[in-house]
Amino acid sequence: MGSHFFDGATPKRHDIEPDIGPEGIAFETERGALAWRHEDLIRLWDYRPQEHLAFTHRRHQDSRLIIEEAWAVEAIGRQAPQLLERGRERWRHTGIAAGLSLGVLTLIAGLYFFVPPVTDRLARAMPWSFEAVDRPELDKLALMIGKRCAAEEPNRILRGLVEDLLKTAAFPHPITVDVTSSKMVNALTFAGGRIVLLRGLIDKARSPNELAAVIGHEIGHVVHRDHTERWMRENALSAASVLLFGFDGTNTIGQTVFETGLSLSYSRGSEQDADRYALRLLNRLDLDPAGGAEFFERMRGKGDLSGLLPGYLSTHPDSDGRAVFFREQGTGTKQALSPEDWLILKRICDKTD
């Protein structure tokens, strides 16, 4: 018995005489000479008997090189001791794994700090025509969240409130605000300056200034082009997650956690910006910010995420913090509507279409 080689392409065994040097192992086969560098060898630790050495090549892992002569084993031990010491091999693999992990963490950190400002600038530079197009999916979604509330006088009052806010915003593109019959307490912003308030929000609001604060917040999303920024961001994160986790047609847990974690952290910044924008509108119109503060205080534990997730993971800032912000930074004293108009507006869903 002696050293031998299998090329992996055929079952033929090639008996060889290894020439072991400082760079690697050279040997002759019937098909020609080969030279395997020590750094390209992968030790097959499960080969028996253990006093023999079995290797494969990093670029040709179907092949096998078996070293049986005691003198050859000793020569390899002198020239490449790492191939005989399993502990060193483990440390080498650990070092490779640590390097890869560090690279992944560096990439994630880069995405965390680099993607938001880039996508934000690109979104605000996009022409408005990119958003202001007919999108059938928005109409389908609108149907899912209820019928349009069409009571005439309440809608007239709502339009007046929205116009006051928009004049103060001085945004050069059209923004529309509709109410749908859904009983959920929420407000949604779509591409093209389309804001949809859900009936539950109107029902739960206790003052016109609460409603003004929410509408101002949604106008902030439109002005900051957050819909386009979110679309760009999610595409960037999707591409990054494919790069990191591969793509097999379904989301892996790691990919989902990665995309969700970064997406939430970015969205939270957009929500804070929209809050600041809303408060500026209220202050310029001399509207009492207490309404917005009271709305956020009532949100605590009633449908927002602050009771379910830590503050740094919630898409929206925590309700307590938002209420404090409105109370401390607000300067206005007036109500957005008279008590009579407010009661009329609350009946906006008496008629739907």
Among the three residues 69, 84, 99, which one is the final residue of a domain in this structure?
84
233 token code pair: 């961001």
Q: Is the peptide bond before 49 cis (omega within 30 degrees of 0)?
A: yes
Q: Are strands 194-198 and 176-180 parallel, antiparallel or unpaired?
A: parallel
Give the per-residue pLDDT at 180: 92
Least confident of 150-154, 186-190, 242-246: 242-246
d(CA 176, CA 178): 7
**What single DSSP character describes residue 311?**
G
- Asked if 33 and 156 sit in the same domain, the reply is no
Q: Is residue 99 part of a domain?
A: no
| Average pLDDT, integer, range 74-100 | 72
Residue 24 domain boundaries: 4-84
Cα dist. 258→99, 103, 109, 253 in Å?
19, 15, 11, 8
Close Cβ partners of 142 (under 8 Å, ≥ 6 residues apart)? 148, 180, 196
Cα dist. 175→201, 220, 338 in Å?
19, 11, 24
- Asked if 297 and 338 sit in the same domain, the reply is yes
Nearest to 261 by CA among 272, 249, 271, 253: 253
Q: Is residue 203 part of a domain?
A: yes
Reported confidence tier of residue 216, pLDDT bands at 50, 70, 90 = very high
**What single DSSP character describes residue 147?**
P
Least confident of 163-177, 225-239, 269-283, 296-310: 296-310
d(CA 196, CA 179): 6
| Average pLDDT, integer, range 221-232 | 83
Q: Is residue 33 part of a domain?
A: yes
Q: Is residue 107 part of a domain?
A: no
Chain mean pLDDT for the chain: 79
Under DSSP, is residue 134 helix (H, G, I), strand (E, B) or coil? coil
Q: Is residue 105 part of a domain?
A: no
- Asked if 135 and 227 sit in the same domain, the reply is yes
The 10s digit of each residue's pLDDT in 60-82 is 888 999 999 999 999 999 999 88
Q: How far is CA 91 from the centre of its chain?
A: 34
- Do residues 278 and 220 make contact, with C-beta atoms less than 8 angstroms apart? yes
Q: Tokens 């993971």 identify what position?
A: 313
Q: Is residue 89 part of a domain?
A: no
| Average pLDDT, integer, range 151-178 | 95
d(CA 341, CA 353): 22
d(CA 46, CA 102): 30
**What single DSSP character describes residue 149?**
B
% of residues, the chain, pLDDT over 70 = 71
| Average pLDDT, integer, range 288-310 | 64
Least confident of 32-46, 91-105, 251-265: 251-265
Q: How far is CA 132 from the centre of its chain?
A: 25
Least confident of 32-36, 162-166, 191-195: 191-195
Give the per-residue pLDDT at 139: 56
% of residues, the chain, pLDDT over 90 = 41
Q: Is residue 108 part of a domain?
A: no
Reported confidence tier of residue 95, pLDDT bands at 50, 70, 90 = low
- Asked if 143 and 47 sit in the same domain, the reply is no
| Average pLDDT, integer, range 259-270 | 53
Nearest to 18 by CA among 64, 80, 62, 66: 66
pLDDT tops 70 at residue 57: yes
Under DSSP, is residue 187 helix (H, G, I), strand (E, B) or coil? strand
- Asked if 129 and 12 sit in the same domain, the reply is no
Under DSSP, is residue 223 helix (H, G, I), strand (E, B) or coil? helix
- Asked if 77 and 119 sit in the same domain, the reply is no
- Asked if 230 and 314 sit in the same domain, the reply is yes
The 10s digit of each residue's pLDDT in 8-31 is 888 889 999 999 999 999 999 888
- Asked if 197 and 248 sit in the same domain, the reply is yes
Reported confidence tier of residue 349, pLDDT bands at 50, 70, 90 = very high
- Asked if 305 and 166 sit in the same domain, the reply is yes
Give the per-residue pLDDT at 305: 37
- Asked if 234 and 314 sit in the same domain, the reply is yes
Among the three residues 84, 105, 132, which one is the final residue of a domain in this structure?
84
Close Cβ partners of 23 (under 8 Å, ≥ 6 residues apart)? 35, 37, 38
Most confident of the ranges 95-109, 154-168, 309-323: 154-168
Query: How many domains does the chain divide into?
Result: 2
DSSP characters for 19-79? EE-SSEEEEEETTEEEEEEGGGEEE-TT-SSTTSEEEEETTEEEEEEEE--HHHHHHHHHH
d(CA 64, CA 185): 67
